[in-house]
Amino acid sequence: MSAVQDAAPPQPSASPPPSPPPSQPLISLRGVTKVYGEGALAFQALKGISLDVQQGDFVAIMGPSGSGKSTAMNILGCLDHPSTGAYLFRGVHVEGLTRDERALLRRRYFGFVFQGFHLLPRTTALENVELPLLYRGEPAAKRHAAAAQALADVGLKGWEHHTSAELSGGQQQRVAIARAIVTAPAVLLADEPTGNLDTHRSHEIMELLWRLNVEHGITVLMVTHEHDMADYARRIVHFVDGQVERDAPNPAPLMLRPGHKSVTAAEALPTQANQPAPAAASEEGT
């Protein structure tokens, strides 16, 4: 049978299992490989990745295009499974779970942010953020309250009733982050979250991820091509050709450097007080 019976995987209605003991990583990859395709067309995207991530860590994954970063993220987020090797999450062998069990684990513990935001168009920020809770069958009042709180957490209080088309790229990515954290995930997986944003908006998003890591205790794994963005992380892992080439702590994460100036000034994080939401106001008025 699957590893579930041995390791008691999470149930959707169950309260979260206790945090792993300090000695046990939250995430552990052991010699993970991934082969796409078969026979002559087979391509080995991962060639034996081993990686431990402790709860509360903030890891940037860098490396050339095609080095396997997204492949590894998909496996970490239970969207795909390794060809060989072991993936342990809180000590549970994920590679031994069924597809349904992996989906359960994914919904309970992981939030995802992608380069392209992936918001529903013609749908308000609040509705987008509520979606994961709708899938969980949460009642409307609870969904609204949790989504409004998540939007406030990402600095979008007052923007709840704007549709995606009425938001800037940076704001859309913040809605996507609110959607990712509304389920209170243990881990946020962000695959090039600033890839579509200008430098200023990118730094705003990175400060937000930092805050979620520090204040909400969310473990963050983020893929980026930009050294400036990786500099926010506590640890930087370099992939090359399907393998971990380097893995080292960032001795001075940007936000901890003396004299570092935050880009997230009051003007950068719109609130009801300093930036009214005209569309929301007009909707309410009609």
Instruction: Tell me which residues touch ligand ATP (CB under 6 A).
Output: 36-37, 43, 45, 63, 65-71
Q: Could you tell me the smallest distance in angstroms from the CB atom of residue 66 to Mg ion?
A: 8
Nearer to ligand ATP, 29 or 277 (CB): 29
Nearer to Mg ion, 87 or 114 (CB): 114
Give residues with Cβ within 8 angstroms of 64, minimum separation 6: 239, 240
Interacting partner of 135 out of Mg ion, ligand ATP, none (Cβ under 5 to 8 A depending on kind):
none
Nearer to ligand ATP, 70 or 173 (CB): 70
> Which of 211, 238, 213 has its CA nearest to residue 223?
238
Binders of Mg ion in range 57-96 (CB under 5 A): 70
Q: Could you tell me the smallest distance in angstroms from the CB atom of residue 47 to ligand ATP?
A: 11
Burial tier of 105 (Cβ tally within 10 Å: 0-12, 13-18, 19+)? buried
Q: Could you tell me the smallest distance in angstroms from the CB atom of residue 17 to ligand ATP?
A: 30
Give residues with Cβ within 8 angstroms of 275, minimum separation 6: 158
Nearer to ligand ATP, 38 or 215 (CB): 38
- The answer to whether residues 161 and 132 touch, using CB atoms and an 8 Å cutoff, is no
Nearer to Mg ion, 70 or 219 (CB): 70
Binders of Mg ion in range 148-177 (CB under 5 A): none
Number of shown-chain residues binding Mg ion (CB under 5 A): 1
Name the site residues for Mg ion (rule: CB under 5 A).
Answer: 70
